[in-house]
Amino acid sequence: MDKLIIKGGISLKGEIRIAGAKNSALPILAATLLTQETIQICNLPHLFDITTMLELLGCMGVQPIIDEKLNVEVDSSTIKHFSAPYELVKTMRASILVLGPLLTRYGQAEVALPGGCAIGSRPVNLHISALQAMGADIVVEDGYIKASVKGKLNGAHIFMDLVTVTGTENVMMAACLAEGQTVIENAAREPEVVDLANCLVKMGADISGQGTDTIIINGVKDLHGCSYSVMPDRIETGTYLIAAAATRGHIKLKDTRPDILESLLSKLEQVGAEIKLGDNWIELNMHGKRPQAVSLRTAPYPAFPTDMQAQFTALNSVAAGTGSITETVFENRFMHVHEMNRMGALIKVEGNTVIVQGVDALKGAPVMATDLRASASLIIAGLVSENETSVDRIYHIDRGYECIEEKLQLLGAQIRRVPS
């Protein structure tokens, strides 16, 4: 296992390129199971979770081909097995995304109950009840979701009790090849859901309403191959912007999308950042000033994303003033707070809110990552610390950030990876 060693106190400056979105790439890889024809996926990020999803396809008998530009071609006509084994699913919750495609295309699927980040219960019962409403027979036994359908799934009117991104995606993929019309109400509106829908439409699906809370899918007989480029990663974009604001820096991010980051950009302006935007770039300049504390509340898109809450907690810890951050999406998402307090932060947890009183600087310390976004927040804390910080258990960060230490080095950070 590796750890990251960070020497803090340096303002980030420079330009970097943003990778493709993990949370788009995973469902799009699952969608390749919906057609006999070859799908080419471009702009995939180089991440552990992507490798896991490719391995999952591989263990079903599908052999993805990676070209010299790191684009992936998937031809699922060679599929032999319809099972997602626990060994792979336990490392990545998104494995459940193969359930809908396998069931609608092949009439059967067996998927282990998911693992992944320990940030609270993300119920898979919403996926199960929606597919049952479409005519699937599903039992959960021996740690597996075992699903089958006689003939084809049928379109249905589905109301999601909770806004769920993977639930919306699973049902949307299943509905593409179902008989008749499916309406998903209280659907997730996240840009990654829209990206998947756009890819499915390119494959010949009949989908409308993506990006709103009602998605309508008319089932078609079959889907065909296409080439599709994954959207940029808004969470990676946000993480580097927050890191630059916390370190009083000046950075430009290329190959990103300002139009899906409005809630974050408005908060960064409140912090005191000057922000300039182009079609596919964002520039942030703190002019060397200390950030001002802000208060925020996470909620599903288009509100402030839960996946940037931990990073903003790190920024508030060195900001002028006191800010409160309320987490409404996941119930177990403040595991970074204890580690930051060990570095000299003044953070109190009150229910689902953290109150952060800014200090002049944090003090470097050995800390341990507990989940993907918490590890990003500890790196930001290390960047704004005096002395040296070591972040252990960084396998979490490799699940969601492509080459994080190389990109931070390009921005001037003193950070290196060493075996722990």
State the binding site for UDP-N-acetyl-alpha-D-glucosamine: 93, 307, 329
> Which residues make up each annotated binding site for phosphoenolpyruvate?
22-23
Task: Give the tokens for residue 312.
Answer: 């903003």
Using CA atoms, how far apart are residues 320 and 291, in angstroms rounded to an integer?
6
Annotation marks residue 199 as catalytic:
no
Cβ-count burial 130-161 (b if 16+ within 10 Å, e if not): bbebbbbebeeeeebbebebeebbbbbebebe
> Which residues make up each annotated binding site?
22-23, 93, 307, 329
Using CA atoms, how far apart are residues 73 and 41, in angstroms rounded to an integer?
6
Task: Give the tokens for residue 149.
Answer: 């359908």
Instruction: Give the residue among 326, 388, 399 at the shortest CA–CA distance from 117.
Output: 399
Distance of CA 123 to the CA centre of its chain: 17
Using CA atoms, how far apart are residues 288 and 244, in angstroms rounded to an integer?
10
Using CA atoms, how far apart are residues 418 and 420, in angstroms rounded to an integer?
6
Q: Which of 42, 59, 117, 176 is labelled catalytic?
A: 117
Amino acid in the structure at residue 394:
I
Instruction: Give the residue among 363, 260, 252, 354 at the shortest CA–CA distance from 311.
Output: 354
User: Which DSSP string do the residues of 199-211 spell out, in sequence order?
Assistant: HHHHTT-EEE-BT
User: Which DSSP string do the residues of 8-77 spell out, in sequence order?
Assistant: -----EEEEEPPBPHHHHHHHHHHGGG-SSEEEEES----HHHHHHHHHHHHTT---EE-TTS-EEEEGG
Strands (E), 59-122: 65-66, 72-75, 83-84, 108-112
Using CA atoms, how far apart are residues 222 and 235, in angstroms rounded to an integer?
34
Contacts with 148 (C-beta within 8 Å, 6 or more apart), sequence order: 103, 107, 108, 109, 136, 137
Catalytic residues: 117
